[in-house]
Structure 1
Amino acid sequence: MYQFSYAEVAQESGATARDRERQALGHAISLLERAEEAGPRSREAVEAIYVTRNLWSILVEDLANSDNALPDELRANLISIGLWIMKEAEAVRLGKSGSFQGMIEVTTMIRDGLAA
């Protein structure tokens, strides 16, 4: 039988969660890149907006939870970023913006930060 300390299990769980978040962000980035190529009125854009908004909604909700272990300032900054991305996605959906590039760049930085 294997025995692990709580710290080892907690660390592995955190690493697993970060990896899942990184993968989800990577998927959203791929969709946003395809949407950027296809244009803001494409089927790819609809899918990218839907997935990106849903993903960031989940992330913001988790970050807003008082049980989230991240430092308060980091949580607040990530919430602000998430709200900005959702606002940008809505701007594209409404035809007020025609580019996904800002969302791609910011989401890529967040994804890459999770790998550290």
Structure 2
Amino acid sequence: MNAQSMAQRAYAQSAGPTKTDRRAEYETIARATHELKAAAEKGATDFPRLAGALHRNNRLWTILAADVADRDNPLPKDLKARIVFLSQFTKRHSAQVLAKKATVVPLLEINTAILRGLRNGSAST
């Protein structure tokens, strides 16, 4: 492969459609949800994987809560409040999962509901 064909190939890849913020959010939450589900299916046989997936899911929700706390965030106040509440719930519930007092099911349900909302709001654009 020569330099010209390598340059054309690199440009062609970057000339694809640009992701919207909503699409990027969807993909990030979907990735965290998939990772959490896969780790939960392994259960006690791979507890470190579950702990890592819970940590990354918590980081995601912390970022979402911080984003809606920004004054420039255009979301309605009631939706911002719900996102902050879900972030706090996720943190508390994850601690219960780590203590083996709860399952990841509610966390998966929350993420799935958010994904559904993003998809219905044209996340595929």
Same fold per superposition (TM over 0.5): yes
Q: Which amino acid aligns with 1:25?
A: I
Per the alignment, residue 114 of structure 2 pairs with 110
Structure-2 residue corresponding to 1:8: none
Whole-angstrom CA distance in 1 between matches of 2:89 and 2:48: 23
1:49 paired to 2:63: no
Residue 29 in 1 paired to residue 29 in 2?
no
* Partners of 2:81 and 2:115 in 1: CA distance: 17
TM (norm. structure 2) is 0.74
TM-score by length of 1: 0.79
Give the stretch that moved more between structures: 87-96 or 17-26: 87-96
Structure 1 letter corresponding to 2:47: S
Percent of pairs with identical residues:
27
**Larger gyration radius, structure 1 or structure 2:** 2
Structure 1 unmatched ranges of 5 or more = 1-12
For structure 2, which runs of at least 5 residues remain unmatched after alignment? 1-17
CA RMSD of aligned residues (A): 1.8
| Corresponding pairs, count | 102
